[in-house]
Amino acid sequence: MIQRIFLLSVLLLLVGTAAFAQTGSAEPKNDIHYWVNQWSRPPIIVFGPDEEAFYQNIKIVLFSYDDYDEPSNPSALASKEIANPTVFTSQFIHAQTACEAEMLGKTGAREIFSGKAYDVLAEIARAYDRAIPHIYIFAGSPNMAYIAASIAVDGRGKILVGQQALEVFDTISLKGFLGHEMAHLVSDTAAQQCNDYVLRDPQMEADADALAARTLGKRPVEAFLERVLALTEGQNWDARRRLEMLQ
Ligand SMILES: [Zn+2]
């Protein structure tokens, strides 16, 4: 008798589980569209910014149908992974977001979604196999900057471009300049944050030039540095030295 009761309760338990599993939409198991839709939706963030940062760092590795040994996009991990994956605390994300908002507000920068700089950056992002970073234009400067650690916030990163840069750099040198900033973006490990004033050390600059040259070809990077030299009437020793290192 005791055994019978036991079996009955197991049976009920199974029925209960089965009933539970079937709540929700009716029988989506074989519906391909349902699952395509399900997995293409952004994950619901339950545990806050840390979880969101985790998802942003996930890379999709593809395998062909019958071959699980060789991914068809082996570069996905190598080229997109942040070199030293950092666990970003919610405190870090909040501080960084606030700092970025303040910086963008102060410079009066506005995000652009079309135009010469956007088109060039889109082409560069493709060459780097990355999403197009957010690009902001601010008035009265021929300079550009990548906002340190901005890649950690949204997975795309933010590049600031002075309005004058669009006037004084032609398309090919603009490509070299943006390609240099993009090199900072892809090698950013978020060791420095948005409000850390970073005087780029010469090696870091040379590395960024080299990475840009490898990714885009040498010509745009040369054109960029030559243009900087011309604009400063040959007085920019940093550009001169970097140009020599590129040879
Ligand atoms: Zn730089």
pLDDT digits (tens, 9 = 90+) for 186-206: 999 888 888 765 566 788 899
Same domain, 208 and 165: yes
Measured in Å, residue 50 CA sits from the centre of ligand 1 at 29
The residue from 15, 50, 81 where one domain ends is: 81
Same domain, 68 and 98: no
Q: Which residue's structure tokens are 């540095």?
A: 225
Give per-residue pLDDT as tens, 51-78: 777 777 667 677 777 776 777 777 666 5
Q: Give me Rg for the CA atoms of the chain.
A: 25
Measured in Å, residue 17 CA sits from the centre of ligand 1 at 58
Under the banding of pLDDT at 50, 70 and 90, the label for residue 18 is very low
Tell me the residue range of the domain where 57 lies: 32-81
Measured in Å, residue 225 CA sits from the centre of ligand 1 at 11
Question: Residue 54: inside a domain, yes or no?
Answer: yes
Measured in Å, residue 131 CA sits from the centre of ligand 1 at 20
Same domain, 44 and 112: no
Is 50 exceeded by the pLDDT of residue 81? no
pTM of the predicted protein model: 0.65
Residues with CB under 5 A from ligand 1 (ion): 200, 205
pLDDT the model gives residue 213: 97
Same domain, 114 and 231: yes
Q: Are 96 and 149 in contact (CB under 8 A)?
A: yes
Give the residue-averaged pLDDT of 213-217: 97
pLDDT the model gives residue 28: 57
Q: Are 50 and 87 in contact (CB under 8 A)?
A: yes
Task: Tell me how far the alpha carbon of residue 70 is from its chain's centroid.
Answer: 25
Question: Residue 174: inside a domain, yes or no?
Answer: yes
Same domain, 54 and 71: yes
Same domain, 95 and 72: no
Same domain, 46 and 134: no
Same domain, 72 and 115: no
Q: What is the mean pLDDT of the chain?
A: 81
